[in-house]
Each structure stands twice: as structure tokens, then as C-alpha cells.
Amino acid sequence: MLKKMRWRFIGAAMAAFTAVVLTLLCLVNLWNYHSVTSQQDEALTRLMEIEDQQMPFSSRRGALPFDDWSHFSPEVQYSLRFFSVHYDTEGSVLRVNQDYIASISEGDAEHYVDAALENGKVRGYESGYRYLVSTTEDETVVLFLNSEREIQTMRSLLWITLAIAAACLVVAKRLFSTSSRSLSTTSCSSFLNAGLFSSSGPRGHHVCQNSLPLRPKSMRTWPTAPRRLSSSECWA
């Protein structure tokens, strides 16, 4: 009975602890995903506004949106790698802008655009790039921003948090097991001190049979044999 109670205690404690750990893990990774993706989307929005400029981060043409990067590092605007593809209303390619990336050819750019448009989404991730689709009356522009570093960071954080969560669960299980054993031993000792344990009674044997052994037979008190009376005592 006490053993079952101990396992129930461990199961309940582990279930509650696991729920808390998984909740924290999800919250941390969702917050990180949202934060990184929001920065990527804002960068794409600003790039789309002046995508046709030769110097995208120059303020010489009064490009005020690029002066408002207060929550970005000053070097971010010079480290972005992106490309865009322009389509007309009939779906023909007007031009491909690949001046700010070296690893993508014109054919590769069109392939990325086809894969992105098949998803039917305005924003999304495609093969390590975050993309944005902008449609006007005259053309459709698909802009891709290299996000390989950001995606790798999100994956690394996910694996680190998973490892930490697994380690916490292992340690917690051992702590709960040790605590339940101590509680079991303390309970049996309390029963003994209260006089509720009997070496021959079924109740004591059922509750604490694994904690307190029965008294061996050699230590039991047996009645002594009757003493023989002397002749003087018999006639007295």
C-alpha cells in the first residue's frame, strides 16, 4: 500500500513538473521565433520601400525609413543580403535584382520565387530565406532576405532548451524518488512510535514489511518450564 502511494506521489509530481518545464520551453522558443521573425519582416518592409534604389541605405534621396533603425545594430543595414524578382501582370519576369547577394543566380532567384508563390502566402520562409510578396496594379515583387543565420540561431536555442529540459526532468525524478523513500521511512517510524505496529499482526506486516523486519524467533520470550519441588516443599 505504501509503495503504491509512493509511486503515485512520484507520478503526480513528475507530471506537474513536466507540464511546467514544457510550458516554459514553448514560451521561450515561441518568443524567440516571434522576435526574430518580426525583425526580418520589418527589414523586408523597409527594403521593399526602396528596393529600386542603387544605394538602399543611403539617405541622399530622403529615404527616411532607413534612418529609423534604432532597435537594430548600426551594422545590420550593411550586412543584409537580399534579392528580388519583378513580374508583370501576365506573370512574365521583368527584372531580377541580385546586386546585394553573390550566391544566387538569376535562375536560382526565379526558382525560389516559384516555390514561394506556390505556398500562397504573402510572408514566409523558403530554403533559408524570409520572403515578402508585394502586388500592385503594374507588377508583383517578391523580395527575399537571407535568414540562414537567424534560422540557425533559433534551432540552436531549441536544442539547448530541449537538453536543459531533459536534464531537469532526470534530476527532478531522482529528487522525487529520494524524497518519497524518506517519507515512507518516516511514516513507518511514526507508526512504530505510536504503537500501531505489531510483529505478528497483519496490519503492521502489511504497512511496513519492507522497512522494519519482524523480531527473530530466538529473541521471543517463551514461558519457562515448571520448576520441580523438593520433598520438604511438597510436605509443607
The confidence score (pLDDT) of residue 165 equals: 92
The confidence score (pLDDT) of residue 88 equals: 87
9 vs 172: CA distance, rounded Å: 13
Strand order in the sheet with 93-100: 93-100, 82-88, 139-146, 129-135, 123-126
Q: Which residues of the chain, if any, have pLDDT below 70?
A: 1-2, 52-77, 180-236
The confidence score (pLDDT) of residue 25 equals: 94
Q: For the chain, what is the total number of helices (H) and then of strands (E)?
A: 6, 5
Query: pTM (2 decimals)?
Result: 0.65
The confidence score (pLDDT) of residue 227 equals: 56
Could you write out the DSSP letters of every residue in 185-196? HHHHHHHHHTT-
The confidence score (pLDDT) of residue 175 equals: 83
The confidence score (pLDDT) of residue 174 equals: 85
Phi, psi of 228 (to 5 degrees): -75, 130
